[in-house]
Amino acid sequence: MPPTGGGWRTQSVNAQKENDLAPDKERYRLPAVVRGLGWVSLFTDAAGDMVYPLIAPFLRSMGAGGTALGALEAISEGLGALVKWRSGAWTDRSRHQKRIVVGGYALAAAVRPLLSIAAAPWQVVAIRSTDRIGKGLRSAPRDAMLAGAIAPEHRARAFGFHHMMDNIGAAIGPIVAFSLAHWFGFTPRRIFAFAAVPGVLALAVLIFGVEAPQAPPPAVLAPAQTTAAPPLPGSLRRYLGSLFVFTLGASADSFLLLHLSKLGLRDELIPIAWLSLNAAKALTNVPGGRLSDRLGHKRTLVMAWTLYAAVYSLFPLMSSVAGAWGLLLVYGAYYGLSEGGEKAIVVELAPPEARGRALGAMHALSGLAIVIANLGFGFLYAMSPRAAFGASAAAAMAGALALLALVPPAPSPRRPG
């Protein structure tokens, strides 16, 4: 028998509330494209981080030293930056972004296991550089796919989720490599060959499990016959300039591990410290993205860059391993606060027809600045660690001040109510 009177009205009100909340729950759920690309990145980063920590000792086993390692980093990152710049323009002119993304992931997955048969240092440099070219090819169109698949008010959270999966994969890779070496006696060459497995898994998920969002209509696509694309908006160029200045201080995290080692951290604990940093990144990526969507991307990014400057100012003052390791975990929160918002700002400030070119410019300028940052930090660190960390902190703070003063706050779209 149906309820009567107040009971009926109460049941109707509850049903109405559930109906009202259902769209909110569905809207809050990340789209399948975002989740699928996250799994692709997890498998890809697991493959890459199985390989990357072993490259330096592998080069040493061939008789090569720091010069070869420096050349590897400079050449690979430089080539990757150039390809990132071009792939952004290709993204805007193509209605098949997924094909470019597949090509980039396939190239990296195909060449990475070739390290297992490398016989000379120049071959290692060539293979690593081709791997980075694959990354450069896929970065801008992949980010454009992510931006096109998510509502504007959740963009930073979507990018944060993607980086979370990156960082989880970066933690899994060294664990797999250690397990293969410790329990199964794998040599570095066999580990390089085994890296093909997560690479194939990433491609399978991408090809069969990720459906590209609908391409922009022809009216907003950049025409292929145009000889010179219009310049990016001034606000976006000022943001990219601020990001470049900040990234001049963003040296490789391996320098933090090197400093921990100098303080007395035992060699066998270095991988654990690396895992703890990646865990801190992964745990803060999604909350940091949500905070950025709520408070505003510019405001959150200023906080993140200021946190970076503070950590780098304090790190050389630490006299104990415990204190420096604790600061390393705090440093992981910088990634959580920044990685989603950095790309969300680009998407907000770029016209839809230039979104790929803007993302490509961001990736390229960051890659170039990282090369400069690593060379500069390494040079200063050899003379004075305190000077190296201080210079990085100063560059980070200069970037934060430039962002605060020169870039207007882009509106962070929110749902009404």
Least confident of 68-82, 293-307, 340-354, 379-393: 68-82
Residue 90 lies in a domain: yes
Query: Which residue in the block uniquely carries the two structure tokens 């590897």?
Result: 72
CA distances from 378 to 78, 259, 261, 374 (A): 17, 12, 16, 6
> How far is Cα 275 from Cα 282, in angstroms, rounded to an integer?
10
* Segment 132-146, tens digit of pLDDT: 899 989 988 898 898
Asked if residue 19 is part of any domain, the answer here is no
Assigned domain for 302 exists: yes
- Residue pair 20/81 in contact (Cβ under 8 Å)? The answer is no
The CATH number assigned to the domain holding 37 equals 1.20.1250.20
**327: Cα separation from own chain's centroid:** 21
85-89, 195-199, 375-379: range with lowest mean pLDDT: 85-89
Contact present, 297 and 344 (Cβ < 8 Å): yes
Residue 314 structure tokens: 């304090």
Task: Tell whether 414 is covered by a domain.
Answer: no
Q: pLDDT digit string (tens) for 21-54?
A: 344 444 557 899 999 999 999 999 999 988 887 8
List, in order, residues 6 or more apart from 49 with CB less than 8 Å away.
Answer: 169, 170, 171, 172, 173, 174, 177
The C-alpha angle with vertex 109 and arms to 108 and 112, in degrees rounded to 5, equals 75
Short-list 253, 258, 251, CA closest to 390: 251
For residue 99, what are its two tokens? 């094909």
CB 37, CB 146: distance < 8 Å = yes
- Range of 92-101, 129-138, 218-227 with top mean pLDDT: 129-138
CA dist 192 and 178 (Å) reads: 12
State the Cα–Cα distance between residues 297 and 119, nearest whole angstrom: 47
Residue type, 159: F
pLDDT at 411: 53
DSSP per-residue codes, 83-118: HHHHHHHHHHH-S-HHHHHHHHHHHHHHHGGGGGG-
pLDDT band at 19 (very low <50, low <70, confident <90, very high): very low
| Residue 367 included in any domain | yes
Residue 112 lies in a domain: yes
pTM for the model stands at 0.76
pLDDT at 226 over 50: no
Q: Sorting pLDDT into bands at 50, 70 and 90, what band is 256?
A: confident
How sure is the predictor about 12, in pLDDT bands with cuts at 50, 70 and 90? very low
Decide if 343 is inside a domain. yes
CA separation, residue 245 to residues 255, 358, 364 (Å): 19, 17, 14
- Region of 102 please: left (phi>0), alpha (psi -120 to 50) or beta: alpha
Query: What angle do helix axes 254-263 and 321-349 make, rounded to 10 degrees?
Result: 170
Give residue for tokens 């943001």: 239
Using alpha carbons, select from 310, 364, 362, 365 the residue that is nearest to residue 333: 310
**Residue 216 in 3-state DSSP?**
coil
Is the pLDDT confidence value at 102 over 90? Answer: yes
- Whether residue 415 is contained in a domain is answered as no
Query: What is residue 307's predicted lDDT score, i.e. its pLDDT?
Result: 97
Tell me what pLDDT residue 104 has. Answer: 94
379 — phi, psi (to 5°)? -65, -45
Structural domain range at position 140: 30-215+233-406
Q: Output the pLDDT for position 216.
A: 54
Are 246 and 395 a contacting pair, CB within 8 Å? yes
> To which residue do tokens 């050899």 refer?
382
The structural domain count of the chain equals 1
Range 289-300 average pLDDT:
92
Segment 159-183 mean pLDDT: 89
DSSP 227: S
